[in-house]
Every structure is written in C-alpha cells, then in structure tokens.
Amino acid sequence: AQFTANTMATVAEAIGLALPYSCGAPAPYEMRDRFNYASGEKVMELIAKNIRPRDIVTLKSLENAATVVSATGGSTNAALHLPAIAHEAGIKFDLFDVAAIFEKTPYIADLKPGGKYVAKDMFEAGGIPLLMKTLLDHGYLHGDCMTVTGRTLAENMQHVAWNDSQDVVRPANRPITKTGGVVGLKGNLAPEGAIVKVAGMSELKFSGPA
C-alpha cells in the first residue's frame, strides 16, 4: 500500500539513490540481504568514480520522483519531503512544482488505500522498475538522470520487460485515471497550497459550508 513509508521507499528508487528493485522487496525476503551487500559495494564504486549524491539529486530526478509518487497514488507527505530534499541540495522545487507534476501524471498503480493491491503485489508484478519503464516509454520521466548504478535511468530500464500477466500496474497510455492519484490545491481556504489524495475517490466536488 502506498502510505508514507512505501511512498518514500519508492521515491528513493525513482530519484536514483537506491538500486533498482531494492526498495520494493518485502522485509522478510532474503534478497534484501543481497541488496544490502550490493549497496555497500556500489557505494565504494561511486566513491571511486567520484559520483556524489548531489550528482544524482537534481531537478530532473526530483521531477521523476514526484511523477512516480503521483503514478502510484502515493502519500501526500511526499509533497513535503521532496521540496525538503530539494532545499538540502540547493534546488528550487516547491509544493507548487510538485503539484504541477501531479496534475499531468497518469495514475497507473492500483495500490491501496485507493486501489486493490499492496506493495508486495507490485514488487511481484515487476516492482518499481516496471512502473518506471512504462512511464519512461511514454515520456513521463527524464531518462538521462544519473543513478547509483553508475548508469542513467534509461540505461537501467533497458532490460526491464513489460509484464502482461499482471494488473497491478497499468501501461501509462491506459491509466486508471489520466491525472495523478494526488493533487495540489490552492485557493482562499489554502492560500499557500494544499495536497489531497484523490486515488480511489469517485466524487471530486463538494459544496457546502466551510
């Protein structure tokens, strides 16, 4: 399910700071031990190549992360955490930048709380790379972003094959809804902006006393 913890795990992979598939593996799976070991090896390689976190965390990679959050109907907390990450990296990327990406991103992962499936189901269907592959193929991600593999996002996706035998993740051109599962709002009730999760909601309009 895309609550805060899984959402931010998804962000780690989408932004390029975690190895592909590593953030979706359920806690009891032994493969997590292999990911831990591989991550340590990769850190040493990145140091040798002088690739630093700020080479990976860029405006484009933050936009990729926001896109993946929206496509999965992720936690509204991501709209606060992503600008905070950007601030630490000296990058201008605020709530309204996140909201603009949410507005143009298709909602394609049928995950709880708005959908049917949980994070384990998405991992077994093909993981975060499966979702990122279809987003990349349809022009929603920046493929030239550097990642901790030492390769670009597009290079990481080259060997990811679409899985037709699952319905957890839809192709980006056949989404659950055409806009993201999380939206940004601004108005007299929230002049500095607000974020609302709409994944799974059937009624998006309400009138009545505030």
End-to-end, the C-alpha distance of the chain in Å comes to 31
Helices 4-15 and 78-88, axial angle in degrees (round to 10) = 40
Which candidate, 145, 111, 120, places its Cα nearest to that of 14? Answer: 145
In a domain, 103, yes or no: yes
Assess contact for 180 and 107: CB atoms under 8 A: yes
Q: What is the per-residue pLDDT for 1?
A: 64
Work out how many domains the chain is built from and give that number: 1
Residue-wise DSSP of 109-140 = B-BTTTSSB-HHHHHHHTHHHHHHHHHHHTT-
In a domain, 144, yes or no: yes
pLDDT digits (tens, 9 = 90+) for 32-71: 999 999 999 999 999 999 999 999 999 999 999 999 999 9
Give residue 164's domain range: 4-197
Q: What is the per-residue pLDDT for 210?
A: 66
Tokens of 68: 């993946």
Q: Where are the beta strands (DSSP E) in the chain?
A: 182-187, 190-197
In a domain, 94, yes or no: yes
Q: What's the predicted TM-score (pTM) here?
A: 0.91
What is the residue whose two structure tokens read 């991600």? 141
- Give the three-state DSSP class for 187: strand
In a domain, 206, yes or no: no
- Confidence category of residue 206, pLDDT binned at 50, 70, 90: confident
In a domain, 159, yes or no: yes
Q: What is the dihedral of CA 76, 139, 59, 3, to 10 degrees?
A: 20
pLDDT digits (tens, 9 = 90+) for 133-157: 999 999 999 999 999 999 999 999 9
Sort residue 99 into left (φ over 0), alpha (ψ -120 to 50) or beta.
Answer: alpha
